[in-house]
Structure 1
Amino acid sequence: MMQPKCLSVEKTRTFRLLSNKNKIIHVDLKKITNYFENLSNELFYEIFDYLEGYKLYKAFSNLNSRFQALLACSSLRLKIDLRFYSEGTLEYCANSIIAPNKDRIISLSLANNILYQLNFTIFNIDATFNRLESLVLESIKSNELIPLLISLISLPRLSSLEIYYNEDSKELSNIYQIVFNFPMLNYYKLSLFVAEASYPLSIATNEQFSTIKYLIIDHCCSFDELITILSYTPQLCRLTCEQVNESDDNIVEDALKMICSLKRVSFSKFYAEFDELEMFLRKVSPHLEVLCFNSCNDVTYLDANQWERIISKYLSHLNKLEFKYEESIDEELVTTIYHENLNEFKSLFWIKRQWFFKIAIDTDFWDNNIIVYTIHSYSKDGDIFEKYNGNDQSFINDISHNMIEKSIAPDQQESSTSSTMISESNHLNIIDLSYFQPNETYYDMLSPILTNLSITCLNITLSTIFIGTLIDFIRCLPNLDSLVISSLEMLQPRCLSIEETRNFRLLSDNNKITKVNLKQMNDLEEVQFFLDLCPRMTYFEVNCTDYVGPENVLRFILMKNIRYIRNLSLLCLKVSRTNLNIVDNLKHTIDFEQLCHNYTIKQIDNRIYLRLT
């Protein structure tokens, strides 16, 4: 930052700056300096409020008497963050900024590893920090943290506390007990960097209640330990917890007290059984509005009818549900009644609330293949086959007709939202696959689950997929209507087997695929593959490249393949660059080479649509 004091004593300099319109602009730096110094004190204080304390002093101290007075004003609130500075800077901050300004600091962030190497006494935070509102403590040793927390009880304004702790987890009980006694605490986050933790905290009595409204438990705890912690927070509004495991002991249901103010709950990993989550939802709050969690290992979580009963009876205010359940694809995967009834997640109950069901195949942390079932609150993100606006309404209607799956909602709920939700619920997304050699058993395990869901759209977001793997997935999806491929691996690690070649021919004769979107084309051989695989396609979208342009693709399809794909009515060619003459050039190619006779061609954004009539 330029220092106003230096600029104000310099001679006026004129700089020549070139604007966007190539006009010469003369800038008088003396006037800029004067304008800056003419800002009001109130505006300077607003600027200061965005600056960390050390940076504020470094930029404005010793400039002139006015800035010295502004920095010394008792109404200036300081925010100090000492976690990322060098030793010399830390010593300066401790002695020259913090020590003389304890009563003006409202926010303080400290890390133990450097401060204690320098033997600072900064941790003696006492009543002289009488305006401190927010405190962040990192890597504090347990023998230093406990006395520090006890001293913080005397601070009258401390409303936000974050602790990042990597010491003995046995002290967690003491940490929670002390923090729950803070008189004004509103926000509390405790992060513990150990895999497992156990802490014998007792259920709160009527005289032990905390004022905390926002609680982040950033460590593992069992379900019964969670209930104990919540017994201290009757004013809680939002709860976030990293991982909840099944209970260590038998739970007395009366120990879970109702928290009427609780409206948002999020569990990154909820590994307790479904019965314990059900107990929690029945008891914890009748005004819960948002519920987000991930789980596994208990297939009861996929019981759509049980969810409908719980939500209808106990969670009447719930408006946002984000739920993910993961299931390993291995020899232990067994199709249950809950898998057979997954379509219940598409009933009118879920449609009315605009919560929709999705299924994907992905890999987990250990690179194992998993099925991921999700429930999401609806958002208008657009279809995989994108919709575009243009002046030619007949074109838009035709595009919509070809790109959007026709779905019918029950009874009189035939709104566009309902149709889109049902459509997206019939998608299978293949996000990632571990490097494995799938066999018949692998697909035999998947087939009953996927068939019951009536999957109509397969969306493969892998950077590449082997042709044989794609064929096997399509075989599991007899109702498939739409296919979206990020990139096809034509350089095969091996040739298709005789069985795979036979399956390809059978699929070509029997599949129902009418819409194909190839998002990344490497060569025309990939286009040929989909023309052979999907002879009944009515819509084909191809992302052209600089090496294989729209003219090459157009000629390849219309000259060599149109007789084999007689149902094709709309071809979409996506180009990387917009060219004003591209449509005229394509029309000339079509007419000159007589590729087709009855057609309409139009460009919308970076897509060229050819409608065959």
Structure 2
Amino acid sequence: MDQAVPSTTFVNDRNIKRQKLEETTNNNINRLLITHFEDLSNELIYQIFELLDSYDVYIIFSNLNLRIENLRTNSNLRINLDLSSISKSNFQHYYKEIIIPHQLRINSIRLTNLFIYNHPFSPLRRLTSLCQLEKLIIHNIQMHYLEELLISLRVLPKLYSLDIEPIDNITNPSHIYDRIFRLPVLKYCQISFKIKPNAILLLETTNEYSSIEHLIIRNDISFHHLDILLSFIPHLRYLSCLNIFRLKDNPTNIRPIILNKLSHILFQMRHTTFDQFKQWITNLSHRIEVLCISTKYDMKYLDANQWEQLIINHIPYLRIFDIQYTYTVHKDNQIMACNSAEIEQFNSSFWIERQWSFEHLHGWIKNWDNRIFYSTNPYRRKYFTLYGETGQLEKKIHLNTVLHVHIRSLQAIINCIYYFPRVTKITFEHIFDISPDSIATSLNCIIPLKQITKLVVNCHCFSFEQIIQILCLTSNLCIMILKSIYLSIPDYWSLQQNENFQKVSKTNQITNITIEEKCKLIDTRLLVALCPRLEHLTIHIPTDVFQLTIRFLLSKTNENIRRLFSLCLTHESKSLVETLKTFIESEKLLDNYFLEFFEDKLYLYW
């Protein structure tokens, strides 16, 4: 239920900062009739510095003039390091010019590049000097580095926010949790682990308890393991579990867990019955005020009377009840459909008095009726799925909390009764044959496409021409994930000469692309020509064109790939490491690079 989790996406932050920067600068320039940046006041320049990435400030303003240079170097403004998208050579420069001179001003660090953790210039090697560090986001880190890191973090006196997502599997999560819980001032913790199914969780018995108040668990976790963790977090106020389940052979906790400060619970549950959830929450001593649940399978979640009794007897302080229950019914199996009388029970006086309202919608995809029962008035989630519901309204209903829209049919776009003013991510599935001109126009009627930063196309029938139509209206798109590249008319030359292709190539801001299925060399060339600002590419290269594709992507003369510095090659074997290394060196494609293999992926960074 990622829609209910506070966002940590730096892409969105950058767009917000860009908008604030434009507004601040324009307002002040218009008011003061200033025509040169150097004429701005110190206060306004500091505001601009705060809204920009620290490396951008260095690149743009370094050595501009003595006054600006003094403001930049002698400032007490906090520095937020985002090292998620930086080349190897630029990182070394960044380290010398930003990290070393200003380490006492570093307030937050975001690392997602697996090669930086073991880099000689990694900021994590200077943790003891980062005494002002408050926020740390660590993704794609190897477990042996993470274990060392968590020990080092204990010396940081102000670290209150931690976000961890390792790249490899965890065989023994106990000591990882134990080290996290020992961080002295940690308040916010978000974790996403790849834990093996047979992992055992046994934390050390101690009188010490964690200071964590806000916990988000994005990986699979059973109720049994969750109970163990909660027994060490007595100050918890907010709990979110995005993949919670109940194992049949797990023992049920017989001792009540006392969490008197816990007020918010957000659960996405799978293979968990209503009775199992009821048993868990009745065993919890709490003061829950907000309960958000996403689930499926067990129709008992649609029993209003059961919910009414549970809330009255065990969740008496509840102010917000937010449920989303999804299920599918085959056209030949209508006996499994939800009884409308059961849904009507949610219109009783109990629900009306609390102003809790619900909707029950459905949409057909081939032979399946996709149904969803969810809370409204208002709709609070950051995620919304369009199945194909229809409606005729003079004015669309605005869903202001939604940041990610998942679209599962063309009809869902055409007949949508909603408008999503704050959406930044779109995911497509089950999109069938439509004309290239219609989808972008229809989509722009329900979503302001200009603000989209991430696009996911998880279907085969979505043609490349349709992608281009959407890109014409998504000028701020940064990340694009495609199932495959499909051309309705395989005329590559005429497509590249197309007016829309040329427009997108000149204006788009896409830096990160993933192609999940095999990508032919000619398709790779087309993609690179369309997105010349590309920095990171994840791709499955066919064996017969492997060397040709690598030679093309590492070419030093192709202007379209001059910004590319990172490759992830999927569906590969470990034996390819030496083969690729030999090929790169024999062809003299790169002078200074890192090469790593994890699971079935080969990572190249230069």
TM-score range, shorter chain: 0.5 to 0.7
- Other-structure match for 1:69: 70
Distance 1:257 1:363 in 2: 43
Alignment of 1:90-129 (within 5 A): 90-115=91-116, 119-129=120-130
Displacement of 1:273 after TM fit?
2.0
The answer to whether structure 1 residue 32 and structure 2 residue 32 are counterparts is: no
The answer to whether structure 1 residue 132 and structure 2 residue 133 are counterparts is: yes
Cα distance change, pair 204–349 in 1 and its aligned pair in 2 (3 A): farther
The answer to whether structure 1 residue 200 and structure 2 residue 217 are counterparts is: no
Q: Output the amino acid matched with 1:372.
A: R
Alignment of 1:37-186 (within 5 A): 37-40=39-42, 42-73=43-74, 75-115=76-116, 119-186=120-187
Tell me if structure 2 keeps the 8 A contact 1:286–1:317: no
- Other-structure match for 1:378: 377
Q: Deviation per CA, 1:404-451: give whole Å up to 9, x if none.
A: xxxxxxxxxxxxxxxxxxxxxxxxxxx9689xxxxxxxxxxxxxxxxx
- Other-structure match for 1:450: none
Tell me if structure 2 keeps the 8 A contact 1:74–1:104: no
Displacement of 1:150 after TM fit?
0.8
Distance 2:258 2:87 in 1: 48
Q: Deviation per CA, 1:113-154: give whole Å up to 9, x if none.
A: 342585434331432110000111121111111101110111
Higher mean C-alpha deviation, range 370-379 or range 308-317: 370-379
Q: Output the amino acid matched with 2:315.
A: L
Displacement of 1:160 after TM fit?
0.8
- Other-structure match for 1:299: 299
Tell me if structure 2 keeps the 8 A contact 1:324–1:374: yes
Tell me if structure 1 keeps the 8 A contact 2:213–2:236: yes
Tell me if structure 2 keeps the 8 A contact 1:87–1:118: no
Q: Output the amino acid matched with 1:32.
A: T
Alignment of 1:387-426 (within 5 A): none
Distance 1:137 1:432 in 2: 33
Q: Output the amino acid matched with 2:265.
A: V
Q: Output the amino acid matched with 2:281.
A: L
- Normalising to structure 2: TM-score of the pair? 0.54
Q: Output the amino acid matched with 1:225.
A: H
Q: Deviation per CA, 1:169-218: give whole Å up to 9, x if none.
A: 21432221111111111111112357x64542236756231111111101
Distance 2:379 2:237 in 1: 28
Displacement of 1:244 after TM fit?
0.7
Secondary structure of 1:83's aligned partner: coil
Distance 2:206 2:305 in 1: 38
Distance 2:46 2:364 in 1: 51
Tell me if structure 1 keeps the 8 A contact 2:223–2:280: no
Distance 2:68 2:85 in 1: 26
Secondary structure of 1:49's aligned partner: helix
Secondary structure of 1:233's aligned partner: coil
Q: Output the amino acid matched with 1:220.
A: D
Displacement of 1:220 after TM fit?
0.7
Secondary structure of 2:258's aligned partner: coil
Cα distance change, pair 183–95 in 1 and its aligned pair in 2 (3 A): same
Alignment of 1:234-253 (within 5 A): 234-247=234-247, 249-253=249-253
Distance 1:171 1:363 in 2: 44
Q: Deviation per CA, 1:518-559: give whole Å up to 9, x if none.
A: x9xxxxxxxxxxxxxxxxxxxxxxxxxxxxxxxxxxxxxxxx
Distance 1:44 1:323 in 2: 47
Cα distance change, pair 184–199 in 1 and its aligned pair in 2 (3 A): farther
Distance 1:151 1:255 in 2: 34
Q: Pairwise CA RMSD of aligned residues? A: 3.5
Tell me if structure 1 keeps the 8 A contact 2:363–2:371: yes
- Normalising to structure 1: TM-score of the pair? 0.54
Q: Output the amino acid matched with 1:379.
A: P
Larger radius of gyration: 1
Tell me if structure 2 keeps the 8 A contact 1:83–1:110: yes
Cα distance change, pair 254–72 in 1 and its aligned pair in 2 (3 A): farther
Tell me if structure 2 keeps the 8 A contact 1:361–1:371: yes
Distance 2:317 2:125 in 1: 46
Distance 2:318 2:216 in 1: 21
- Other-structure match for 1:284: 284
Displacement of 1:93 after TM fit?
0.9
Q: Output the amino acid matched with 2:35.
A: I
- Other-structure match for 1:479: none
Alignment of 1:213-612 (within 5 A): 213-247=213-247, 249-284=249-284, 286-330=286-330, 334=335, 341-362=342-363, 369-379=368-378, 386=393, 461=412, 463=414
- Other-structure match for 2:546: none
Distance 2:97 2:208 in 1: 40
Tell me if structure 2 keeps the 8 A contact 1:204–1:231: no
Distance 2:367 2:147 in 1: 42
Cα distance change, pair 106–344 in 1 and its aligned pair in 2 (3 A): same
Displacement of 1:285 after TM fit?
5.0
Cα distance change, pair 176–66 in 1 and its aligned pair in 2 (3 A): same
Distance 1:335 1:111 in 2: 45
Displacement of 1:243 after TM fit?
0.6
Distance 2:236 2:57 in 1: 36
Distance 1:206 1:353 in 2: 42
Cα distance change, pair 334–259 in 1 and its aligned pair in 2 (3 A): farther
Displacement of 1:238 after TM fit?
1.4
Cα distance change, pair 293–31 in 1 and its aligned pair in 2 (3 A): closer
Cα distance change, pair 208–116 in 1 and its aligned pair in 2 (3 A): closer
Q: Output the amino acid matched with 2:326.
A: E
Secondary structure of 2:86's aligned partner: coil
Tell me if structure 1 keeps the 8 A contact 2:245–2:272: yes
Displacement of 1:463 after TM fit?
5.0
Displacement of 1:372 after TM fit?
2.7
Secondary structure of 1:329's aligned partner: strand
Tell me if structure 2 keeps the 8 A contact 1:203–1:231: no
Cα distance change, pair 283–387 in 1 and its aligned pair in 2 (3 A): farther
Secondary structure of 2:155's aligned partner: coil
Cα distance change, pair 286–117 in 1 and its aligned pair in 2 (3 A): closer
- Other-structure match for 2:567: none
Q: Output the amino acid matched with 1:67.
A: I
Tell me if structure 2 keeps the 8 A contact 1:290–1:318: yes
- Other-structure match for 1:394: none
Q: Percent of aligned pairs with the same residue?
A: 29
Distance 1:155 1:118 in 2: 21
Secondary structure of 1:132's aligned partner: coil
Distance 1:121 1:335 in 2: 56
Cα distance change, pair 235–204 in 1 and its aligned pair in 2 (3 A): farther
Distance 1:340 1:30 in 2: 67
Distance 1:238 1:342 in 2: 30
Structure 2 unmatched runs, 5+: 1-29, 381-389, 396-406, 416-432, 434-441, 443-606
Higher relative contact order (CA 8 A, sep 6+): 2
Structure 1 unmatched runs, 5+: 1-26, 389-430, 435-459, 465-488, 490-518, 520-613
Distance 1:349 1:296 in 2: 24
Secondary structure of 2:148's aligned partner: helix
Distance 1:214 1:146 in 2: 22
